[in-house]
Structure 1
Amino acid sequence: MKTHLLTLALACTTFVGCSEKDVQVSEAPESSEPIVMDELPPMMDMGGHPEHGPHGGELVELGKEAFHIEMMHGSGAVALYVLDGSATKPVAIEAEKLTVSLKHDGEVKSFELPANPQAEDESGKSSRFTSTSIEMDQWMESGAEGAVILQIDGKSFTGKISHDHDHEGHDHGSHEGHNH
């Protein structure tokens, strides 16, 4: 550990131009414990939450980051997960279904995703909503935009679904023949 810090200090003084007094070296004892990648925090965006949801899906903000929706699509299925403000923990809501309105190539259509509770969801609530609509999955894959409206604790939230991120070199998962 000391070796790494000293290397960092040398690199700082050589490349950045800071002096040795600007670099603080901790005298903490070296640990023989290996660093486990699963214990490191996920990649964060500027909003302080992960860039992707716990399942690797795209995040949709709800109510100035009060909650999030994680969107998973591909292989003929779509799943929406309701997450907390940090976009890391599921939030089970009292809803039998979520309705997503999408616009693609000038056509607008609504799709219903029935509740599909996860094992940890409280009885009568769900944090996961799924659809096996191949049409919805194809619309999502081809960059459809739209919205999902849902109620959480008596408040209405609208999440804007868009594909405004760069798809160059971007992988939604295994989508052979996938073009945007």
Structure 2
Amino acid sequence: MKTSFLTLLLACFTLIGCSNKNAQNDSPDDSSGPLVIDDLPPLMDGDSHPEHGPHGGELIELGKEAFHIEMLHGTGSVAMYMLDGSAIEPVAIEASKLTVSLKHDNEVRSFDLAADPQADDASGKSSRFTSTDAEMDHWMESGAEGAVIVEIEGKSYTGKISHDHDHDHDHDH
């Protein structure tokens, strides 16, 4: 990643140095002035969200990072928090539950997480969904994989649930 960033940066300097002429300079061959790069967009590091959600949970991407779900488990219950594209701010949605389909030891099962609105959620909306199903929590702790499908503002999003507890953050988006 660092090599490609440096290559991109070098290419930008080369292209700008070869094609831009300083408007304040009458001589096109005079390169003694500083190189000014005001018109380039800011460079992104390729990963515009944190590794974990605001509650320390695992992140699930929805719609090419349009939204995220933060998932917490391991306490006998499971909680999912709807988050914005930056995976920081809560997003309250009009849903009474989220349904998660999981596969564990060649068995497939669906689990429901009921809406459990937070204090700042608008009436009739929720950014938190919870389940006290100990079996779901056990499946999550045992590395079950699956998907969650959620509708946000009339559009359906699918998030892939996979576990890598030795997660080193070398994922591609």
Shared fold (TM-score, shorter chain, > 0.5): yes
Secondary structure at the counterpart of residue 73 of structure 2? strand
* SS class of match (2:139): helix
2:14 corresponds in structure 1 to none
Alignment partner, residue 87 of structure 2: 87
Match of 1:129 in 2: 129
- Structure-2 separation of matches of 1:167 and 1:48: 17
Aligned mates of 2:77, 2:164 — CA distance in 1: 21
Matching residue's letter, 2:112? E
Show structure 1 runs of 4+ deviating over 3 A.
none
CA–CA distance in structure 2, aligned partners of residues 165 and 157 of structure 1: 24
- C-alpha displacement of 1:165: 5.1
Deviation readout 1:63-113 (Å, 9 max, x if unpaired): 000000000001101000000000000000000000000000000000000
Amino acid at match of 2:79: A
Partner of 1:55: 55
Return the alpha-carbon distance in structure 2 between the equivalents of residues 154 and 105 of structure 1.
Answer: 34
- Give the Cα separation in 2 of the matches to 1:102 and 1:88: 26
Q: Tell me the SS of whatever aligns to 1:74.
A: coil
The corresponding residue for 2:78 is: 78
Aligned length: 124
Question: Which consecutive unaligned segments of at least 5 residues does structure 1 have?
Answer: 1-44, 169-180
Query: Sequence identity, in percent?
Result: 78
SS at match of 1:65: coil
Unaligned stretches of 5+ residues in structure 2: 1-44, 169-173
In the TM superposition, residue 166 of structure 1 has moved relative to its aligned partner by 2.0
Letter in 2 for 1:147: A
* TM-score under structure 1 length normalisation: 0.67
1:43-72 Cα offsets, whole Å, 9 max, x none, are xx8421110000000000000000000000
**Matched position secondary structure for 2:138:** helix
Using the TM superposition, give the Cα deviation of residue 143 of structure 1 relative to its aligned residue in structure 2, in angstroms. 0.3
Equivalent residue for 2:96?
Answer: 96
1:138-153 equivalence runs, <5 A: 138-153=138-153
Deviations 1:87-145 (A, max 9, x none): 00000000000000000000000000000000000000000000000000000001000
Query: Whose Rg is larger?
Result: 2
Matches of 2:162 and 2:74, distance apart in 1: 16
